Structure 1
């Protein structure tokens, strides 16, 4: 039996989540195999009745045979019904387990931090959700159809053979044990081969994902032929790995089957000896040979099953590696004050290094933003602006230093002590590349506040100057956008993404160059309306905006200049124009 740490064994324990289906399926298979053993016994009784009836006359022999054949027909019909029900139950259970697995994988993928996603890539996660989950589902179904049923068949067959004579069962038992040992040794290498196949399949999925998501770039640079060649090369690697695994299975599987087949020879030879010695009836010998045929037939299927389980062991390991992964970012238990008011921000000697720890993105970075203030963050490409913004909702964590939220009046709270849901409700980040799901505009907006009414939606749209975007659409808020909002322009997506963030009523709003696609007039209107929120009762928000345009910087109360991972200067725009780096970044020279 596999150890409790075996991924495949852990997968079988998923049946605990559907206990009634498990019990019903097991009972159906058990009854079906009892009926199968009964069929073999009845064949022997019919043959024996024919042998005994020969001395009593043809009529007596016929009556005896018909009696046992009637029983045999009834048991065969019963077994057929049980097999159908058991097969259907196992398929339903397998589908339920597949659904359960995919739900867990999806929840885990959403739970894991960005660092995990960067290390493993979309292709690998898609493979584990599709190919690996399907292979594991097939193994869990075959557990019933092959492993569980085979165990019952072997047990019932050996029990009947032992009833006829102990030695008739002993030799086949030894041969079956030897065959299983050979299968298990081969399975370890099959697992290694399937891991290589899985890795190659990851690359195929990655190429496909990039080909779909990067279709605009591919078309712009006429890269269709090049990308097709890359994809074909990855598929070729996958095919070679898959062929190697299949070739190994086809070459090695027949040997254990031949070992099991030797049991039929033993039963025939030793059974004839028992018949001559008067210790076994001819009908019982016929039944014993039929059972030996069943064992050989089952052994032929064992090779396929072992390959399925070898694939499943590899897939199960990959799935449980994902499900067992712990997010690098864990929340605390603290909460923010309940009253809705803008939050200030402090960074104290914050340092962030790139994966591997070789390059500093932020280095001894300190800054302060007062509640309700609108602050622009300016820096060269690669200066660490987006990294700094990602620290606020803890999409990333600082390696050194602290980030604090709060105010001088209400006190300051370390981000690491806050619950993640509380933090991410209070701090909203709008990226430059706004992501919209393939759904209606209303559904996309309500992601931030599922219970928001139409009035709240209209208010958020108005502040983001996105109400005019909705007015131009034929179905208004019920308009369905394409994949990633492809049916909308960049500026429209940015305004809708801003409206979505505002619908959550954030107390700190971070705009990562999120107005870069807006014209200067629309951008000015957006910030004017954001400032107007301060006049509302309990409204308003602190705004930190990554800026690359002069028009954006001019909307800020104060500007921070980020150079080499730290704040090099800060002040109003007019004051920073004396700084050469600042002038060069905004093209003022």
Structure 2
């Protein structure tokens, strides 16, 4: 029960959950804490020494006149040397503590970003469809930075201020309990007033974060869609849209600043009254002979440090309020549970066929089914074309095979009649996605060399194997056109290549993956009919006559693609309405004839 309540409390305190990451670096964390403790103890010791020096000066012991009239500065030089030595030692230790603090802060930031990136890769496509790129980027940049900055200040200031409060109040109590009691009451009252503002500041920063999401998303779309923007002369309209997002972000930020400027000064003023109390009551004690002048000076220095540190906590609470909102946004991503979880069984050895039995799927998880009671079978080594009108569910069907999207009902099975059939939900995901490769219509290339892009699925492939894959994808002549050959950088998303060239490079990359089931989701739409036919024939012959022939499912929108297949399946309204060879469908299916323009 205790562990459950502790876990529940931690889930309700996202910033503390981030702070717990410091537990992964206990050595550096403990060393930094020790150094900071030494720095603060040395600071109070300096202030007490100043008080002792003033006390000695009051009684005429700091500078003494000898019998011959010559002044003896030995005692004064002693205090100067002691204070300078302690200041130098404190500066060195403080510098080391600062470096260590920055180091573990960067480690914390790196850990947060790594966890977010890993989680983003774990989450299924439906999550990414519901959340934009800008939102994910904001979590990894602005929110992670805010958490890092707050936690560095949080544990340092809370730790340092805690030490200062204990030492300072203890020292004041030694001089007089009343000197310590009133500042303690004022500190508690001021901190309580500051703490009451935290929830309002968190809500305000949450709104700032949402506005920043929109800014980042719009910026991302503006960069990625620059060709569309230029083509339709949308520059001014997009700039105006971006300005509106920026204005909203600035308005939310100003609202937070106004709130803080109105509410934070009052508690800081209450805390600062400690100065007046120590000075007034301390002066009265000096007049009564109950306190020495040096002790009063030391008490004033101590309470001055105390008030400055507590006022710093006021500023820190605003930073922490911002970070609480950012930490909550980060843990919303990290706590999201992937809908798709890996099975444990490997796929059957040998060639892979495909069976769908009464499958229904709603990719957004909102109950709006795209596929309804769909059943089909594809034998190992068969090349099947899938045709259908826009929105009929072709891409969703292809996404079911490597479990990029999960079925709501029915079964998706891979295997063969000889080796047996296996539900993809029982299959280990890494093995499934190694042997089932879906090539989408959008040809995505990373901003790297051509060779690096091709080696993503086959890191140990030789240059000769890369060239062979390009030849099979009907892209062999591409190397002759590129000045640096395989070492040519293809630019952002492959911007230096044409649409057809990008598709063929992506096809070559898929062939290097050596998958048993290759799914082309309209991935040859930018190719001319002759090049497309040549690429499909090359793939068909890749393992012809072998024990593990390649099975292909090709989403087609052109007659030439359908003609290259052994069989055609017609999809309409999320259901299969016709299937068979091209010549049979040409004769019997009006839907097929309409789709193919026959």
TM-score using structure 2 length: 0.95
Equivalent residue number for residue 153 of structure 1: 164
**Residue 567 (str. 1) matches residue 573 (str. 2):** no
Q: Which runs of 5+ in 1 are unaligned?
A: none
State how far apart, in whole Å, the 2-side matches of 1:423 and 1:135 are: 39
Q: Secondary structure at the match of 1:535?
A: coil
Cα deviation for residue 3 of structure 1 reads: 4.7
State how far apart, in whole Å, the 1-side matches of 2:313 and 2:299 are: 21
**Residue 298 (str. 1) matches residue 309 (str. 2):** yes
Equivalent residue number for residue 387 of structure 1: 396
Q: Secondary structure at the match of 2:456?
A: coil
- Which of 204, 216, 220 does residue 205 from structure 1 map onto? 216
**Residue 8 (str. 1) matches residue 18 (str. 2):** no
Q: What does 1:250-261 correspond to in 2, within 5 Å?
A: 250-261=261-272
**Residue 478 (str. 1) matches residue 487 (str. 2):** yes
**Residue 501 (str. 1) matches residue 507 (str. 2):** no
Equivalent residue number for residue 50 of structure 1: 57
Cα deviation for residue 4 of structure 1 reads: 3.1
Between 1:96-105 and 1:506-515, the stretch displaced more is 96-105
Q: What does 1:60-71 correspond to in 2, within 5 Å?
A: 62-71=73-82
- Which of 417, 420, 425 does residue 426 from structure 2 map onto? 417
Equivalent residue number for residue 153 of structure 2: 142
- Which of 31, 36, 56 does residue 24 from structure 1 map onto? 31
Between 1:306-315 and 1:51-60, the stretch displaced more is 51-60
State how far apart, in whole Å, the 2-side matches of 1:282 and 1:434 are: 80
State how far apart, in whole Å, the 1-side matches of 2:82 and 2:270 are: 34
**Residue 185 (str. 1) matches residue 196 (str. 2):** yes
Between 1:466-475 and 1:353-362, the stretch displaced more is 353-362
CA-to-aligned-CA distance 1:75-129 (integer Å, 9 cap, x gap): 1111111222211221122112111211111111111111111111111111111
State how far apart, in whole Å, the 2-side matches of 1:3 and 1:168 are: 38
Cα deviation for residue 299 of structure 1 reads: 3.2
Q: Secondary structure at the match of 1:467?
A: coil
State how far apart, in whole Å, the 1-side matches of 2:518 and 2:62 are: 100
Q: Secondary structure at the match of 1:4?
A: helix
State how far apart, in whole Å, the 1-side matches of 2:405 and 2:324 are: 34
Cα deviation for residue 337 of structure 1 reads: 3.1
- Whether the 8 Å contact between 2:47 and 2:302 is mirrored in structure 1 is yes
Q: Secondary structure at the match of 1:517?
A: coil
- Which of 110, 115, 127 does residue 116 from structure 1 map onto? 127
- Which of 132, 136, 140 does residue 129 from structure 1 map onto? 140
- Which of 304, 308, 313 does residue 324 from structure 2 map onto? 313
**Residue 582 (str. 1) matches residue 592 (str. 2):** yes
- Whether the 8 Å contact between 2:467 and 2:476 is mirrored in structure 1 is yes
State how far apart, in whole Å, the 2-side matches of 1:237 and 1:581 are: 50
Cα deviation for residue 281 of structure 1 reads: 1.2
- Whether the 8 Å contact between 1:494 and 1:517 is mirrored in structure 2 is yes
Q: Secondary structure at the match of 1:544?
A: strand
State how far apart, in whole Å, the 1-side matches of 2:311 and 2:362 are: 57
Q: Which runs of 5+ in 2 are unaligned?
A: 1-5
Q: Secondary structure at the match of 2:421?
A: strand
Classify 1:366/1:208 alpha carbon distance in 2 versus 1 (closer, same or farther; 3 Å).
same
Equivalent residue number for residue 450 of structure 1: 459
- Whether the 8 Å contact between 1:351 and 1:401 is mirrored in structure 2 is yes
- Whether the 8 Å contact between 2:54 and 2:294 is mirrored in structure 1 is yes
Equivalent residue number for residue 359 of structure 1: 368
Equivalent residue number for residue 547 of structure 1: 556
- Whether the 8 Å contact between 1:87 and 1:145 is mirrored in structure 2 is no
State how far apart, in whole Å, the 2-side matches of 1:249 and 1:504 are: 57
